[in-house]
Amino acid sequence: MLFDFLQMKCTAGLSSTGSFLLSCHLTCWARKILGLRSFDLQSQKNNKEHHTSEIGSHRLFVRRAQAFVITLNFDRPFNADMDKIVLTAETGPQPTESLGTKVRFVPAKARSGNQWSVSDLNTYENSLQVSLSAPAHAIIGRYLLKVEVSHHPSGRAESYKLGEFILLFNPWSSEDEVYLPSQTLLQEYLMMDYGFIFKGHENWITPWPWNYGQFEDDIIDICFEILDRNLNFLNHPSKDYSQRNSVMYVCRVVSAMINSNDDNGVLQGNWSEDYSKGVNPLEWNGSVAILRQWHATGGQPVRYGQCWVFAAVMCTVMRCLGVPTRVVTNFRSAHNTDGNLTIDMFYDKHAEMMPWERRDKIWNFHVWNECWMTRKDLPPGYDGWQVLDPTPQETSRGVFCCGPASVRAIKEGDIQLAYDTAFVFAEVNADEVIWLQESGQVKEILSHNTNAIGKKISTKMVGSDDRQDITNSYKYKEGTTEERNVFMKASRILLGPIGSSSYPYMERMRTAWFQEKPVKLQLKLAKTPEWGQDLAFFLRARRLQGSEMGIEQLLLNVWLSAQALLHGGNAQTPLWRDKLSFSLVQGEEKELLITLPFINYKDHISDEKLIRLSGVVEIGQTRRKLLVMKDVSLELPHFTIEVSGPAVVNKKLGVSVTFTNTQAETLQNCVLMLEGSGLIDGRMTVNLGTIESGETIQAEVDLFPTKEGSRQLQVLLSCKEVKEIKGYKDIFVASASSP
């Protein structure tokens, strides 16, 4: 109004020099285009509201479907009637509006939920504060933000770069396809930067502490570098970027890029037991060192990984991108390549497990991921946890990746649904059939187990260091009508009508189902199996009443063997054999003590420290053969971790690690490796040298925590003889300002 009044005064020819000069000055001021002097992306405030403060406060990290505020400082006040602003956000190479990689949006009265918007314009002197938001289906990634300022009616315009921001998935927003309506679960599956991976054997489950470190300074940039090196991007970069609004697409890309089978992915797999050209997978403590090494070498695959390493690194990447993710372990996990839901294993008459004749196998355990998302591509009811597996087992649509497969679809046997549901169903539901083989010929069935696959499926319990068994999420209870019905449903989808199967041993297996076993056999440990000690166990045999009625003394000839089990399920040549004979009358039970000396397995077992004891029992009078077996996980030595005093940000924290070599053997080339986000930048290594039998060593280190809150210190003791003596210490770090 003041401007209009003075302009009228000038036009009327008023003679006051002061009035004339003032009116002309203001007329020119009003016609001058706004000049941007500075801007403030308010990273610290926005990041806190968007749950990204842990990533950092010097750059802007925001989430879809949630407003963030920026401030523009001009050289004069903003006039809504004459000054117009248009904001532009661009991502990817050669951004275009047609692909959604470039968007222009103008101020509106309110935020629009399905498009980019700018609203809530507030002025103060020469500053303009605006609220921006991206829709829930926006492409995630790095964006360049620009503002174009124009003046009406002159039409003059100026464009300014406001800097970069990173847009992430938003599980806090009900509009986003990764929405998880639980603060407790979000804290566990998105914000927690450490956790546990469960390894070992179904009867000896070991929690393996892991540093995910998704909020370390450079990890978010490495995550987008991973996306920018995938095959789709290399072939069609603009199209690849345009599809990054879909969590399913991003998950499949990450699943493929964590392994290096098709590309220069993050990790190279190795199950050979020869790790001389890289790092033994057991010696990794966390994802950060792996991702940084991959980045530092220009995207060269890191040597080496196995399933738990692949899954842990994928968990880091997906949590960093904003997708609730957890790591899941399936004990006795089937790798079924021919789609018949049957895993065949072969033994000879001397109780030696033979090399795999086919590519089917049973992993001692296998680790994959679950990511939380909506599945709009599937019928209703299949949202929630989805299996993603970055370990390169089989190709999916031509690429080594797996999933997302709905956990609900797996449980219900709806294996026709995308993606790779049939493969995951077999991993937890296949039948195990064990055959006697002589001279390359299958002679008879030794065992048919319908409940041997998919045992104690595990993940970390929410808010606890304990293990949660989630087997019932994947399948109905073994042996129930529901479980068998689902199995038959899946079999019909895979194999067609019953009787049309191409399974080569079907007729032999059908006849074997009706043969009753005359003797019940069991291998049972006599004491805790410790590495470095003789292994003592019992062979228990009980003759069942009414069996082989025409034979008074049932003669049993027993061949025993022990083989080192590899992680992939294969076994090495026998490291020990034995043979014995005894007889049983009707209803009699005998228990025989057997010893496997340490000297026999000392130099012959794998880093997994897992031994399979097997026995083939031949009934002397009928020549029928039975199988008994037991997998034994050797217990390793332990160490203790102590901290001195309270932990405070940027204050010295003393840590002491004490270890006693309880073994009869000397441990050589011992190295202590420590890691923990918010406690250590990268990794810390302490060389311990040789630790004699019975010797106690104490290593003391000083830490300077950089982040407050709950933290975890992961410690690994590795030596020539043993690679996986692990421990951890939960540490709460107080802020520097705390009293």
Tokens for 190, please give them.
């998105």
CA distances from 101 to 141, 228, 323, 628 (A): 10, 15, 21, 61
Distance (Å, rounded) from C-alpha 636 to C-alpha 638?
7
- The conformation of residue 562, written as its DSSP 8-state character, comes to E
In the DSSP assignment, the letter for residue 190 is: I
Cβ–Cβ contacts within 10 Å for residue 331, how many?
24
Q: Is 97 annotated as a binding residue?
A: no
Active-site pick, 51, 366, 567, 670: 366
Residue 723 has phi, psi (to 5 degrees) of -105, -10
Q: Is 4 annotated as a binding residue?
A: no
Contact of 320 with 253, CB cutoff 8 Å: no
Residue 366 bears catalytic tag = yes
Q: By 3-state DSSP, what share of the chain in percent is helix, strand and coil, each rounded to 5?
A: 20, 40, 40
Does 360 belong to an annotated binding site? no
**Among candidates 424, 394, 417, 428, which has minimal Cα distance to 493?**
417
User: Would you state the structure tokens that stand for residue 602, as one six-digit string?
Assistant: 């000392």
Residues 6+ apart with CB under 8 A from 128: 71, 72, 73, 74, 78, 85, 121, 122
307 given a catalytic annotation: yes
Nearest to 706, CA basis, from 645, 649, 646: 649
Give the CA distances from residue 469 to residues 143, 193, 222, 328, 514, in Å, rounded to whole numbers and listed in that order.
41, 21, 33, 10, 34
Residue 65 has which token pair?
């479907």
With b for 16 or more beta-carbon neighbours within 10 A and e for fewer, the 549-581 pattern comes to: eebeebebbbbbbbbbbbbbbbbeebbbeeeee
**514 burial via Cβ count (<10 Å: 0-12, 13-18, 19+):** exposed
Catalytic-labelled residue, pool 389, 414, 420, 607? 389
Nearest Cα residue to 375 out of 391, 390, 388: 388
Q: Is 25 exposed, middle or buried (0-12, 13-18, 19+ CB in 10 A)?
A: exposed
Question: With b meaning 16 or more CB within 10 Å and e meaning fewer, what string describes 414-428?
Answer: bbebbbbbbbbbbbb
Tell me the CB-side half-sphere exposure of residue 537, using CA atoms within 13 A.
Answer: 24
Residue type, 249: Y
Reduced to 3 states (helix: H, G, I; strand: E, B; else coil), residue 664 is coil
- Residue appearing with tokens 């797999």: 269
* Nearest alpha-carbon partner for 364 in 604, 479, 203: 203
Dig out the tokens for 275 from the structure. Answer: 């790790």
> Is 432 among the annotated ligand-binding positions?
no
Catalytic residue among 50, 176, 228, 307: 307
Six-digit token string for 593 = 């003590």
Report the DSSP beta bridge partners of residue 170: none
Q: Which of 358, 675, 701, 650 is closest to 504 using CA atoms?
A: 358
Q: Which residues are annotated as a binding site?
A: 429, 431, 478, 483
Q: Which residues are annotated as a binding site for Ca(2+)?
A: 429, 431, 478, 483
Which residues belong to the active site? 307, 366, 389
